[in-house]
Amino acid sequence: MLFSKRRAPGPAPLLDPTRAFDVCHVGLVLRAVLGVQLLLALGAALVARDAGQWLTLMANGTVVTMFAVLSWLLAVCSGKRLWPRLPEPAQWLALMALGAAGALMGFALLNATAEEPAGPWRFASVAAAGASGAAGLLAWLRLREHTRRPADALAQLVELQSRIRPHFLFNTLNSAIALVQVDPARAEGVLEDLAELFRVALADSSASVPLSDEVELARRYLAIEQIRFGERLRVAWRLDPAAGAARVPPLLLQPLVENAVRHGVEPNDDGGELEVTTLRRGAEVEIRIANSVGAPARVAGHGLALRNVRQRLKLMHDVAAHFEVEAGEHRFVLRILLPS
């Protein structure tokens, strides 16, 4: 899972980058069309001398705007997986060019039936209006997607944290059962630690917790494992009290130290070393979890816990969080940087 010599897999995407360009929905198309028609009606009202001229302007303008808007939405929908691959300036330029082209084609259809063909300046103004309209629609789509992200991120954070719970509870319960069989006299303390682990695992997964609480939870888990492995598990704590107030997702450290034990201690007859470090540096807090590497783990992992922790950190802190892995021949180091 985590602490093997092979390179850790990359993170899965947090949010679908195509959604801002996913306009293939009737409701969104209707809102876009009605919005453009409302702007057309207001613009025609500003220049029309009377109701008759306003109706004429609306009729002619609707031919152009409907062709332009619907063709633009169709192009955006068809290429919704292409646009996110372009740099942002290229996205704006390409989609504004599509808006200008759609407006020009619509105006060309209207001009073909006119008694007096329009001059070049009319085509230029229509192209500019089409490009401006496309820019306005793109800005609206981006704003609409941006306003949806906080709720989506929270939902995904809850889902990711619920995904780690069954794995966490199952492994912790197995450890406790093994300890009760080995040393019944110490079972009471072990069960107290286990009860605290279960309490945290079943708590509200939408809330963040202080790093100090996560450190205490990791201590309880390693206390259970310490009885099982004895001197084979050698743990060093290097904790900065000033780092304890940093906010982290629940169950952040426990899966990491669990996998350090599984991959760095359990496979080796002589056990292994585990080092947990927290340090505050200005506006950042660093978390380091390092374990020795010896024999390969008996059961190959899939990197699920690593990806889960990485995604939850990104959802909570976005680009302010950094997750780094250094896989050496004799030592595996995981380093997390997050806001204090």
What are the distances in angstroms from CA 159 to CA 162, 315, 320? 5, 12, 21
pLDDT digits (tens, 9 = 90+) for 109-145: 877 777 677 777 888 888 898 898 889 888 888 777 7
Distance CA 82, CA 193 (A): 52
3-state SS class at 101: helix
Residue 277 above 60 pLDDT?
Answer: yes
Rg (CA), the chain: 30
Segment 313-321 mean pLDDT: 77
Going by C-alpha positions, the residue among 108, 112, 78 that lies closest to residue 95 is: 78
DSSP 201-234: HTS-TTS-EEHHHHHHHHHHHHHHHHHHHGGGEE
Please tell me the distance from the alpha carbon of residue 163 to that of residue 280, in angstroms, as a whole number: 30
pLDDT for residue 211: 93
Inter-CA distances, 191 with 87, 99, 217, 223, Å: 55, 66, 14, 11
According to DSSP, the residues that pair with 265 across neighbouring strands are none
Residues in the chain, total: 340
Total-model pTM: 0.52
CA diameter of the chain:
101
Contact status, residue 303 vs residue 1, Cβ threshold 8 Å:
yes
Asked if pLDDT for residue 235 goes beyond 90, the answer is: yes
pLDDT confidence of residue 166: 63
Give yes or no for residue 299 having a pLDDT over 60: no
pLDDT tens sequence across 155-180: 555 555 555 556 556 766 776 677 67
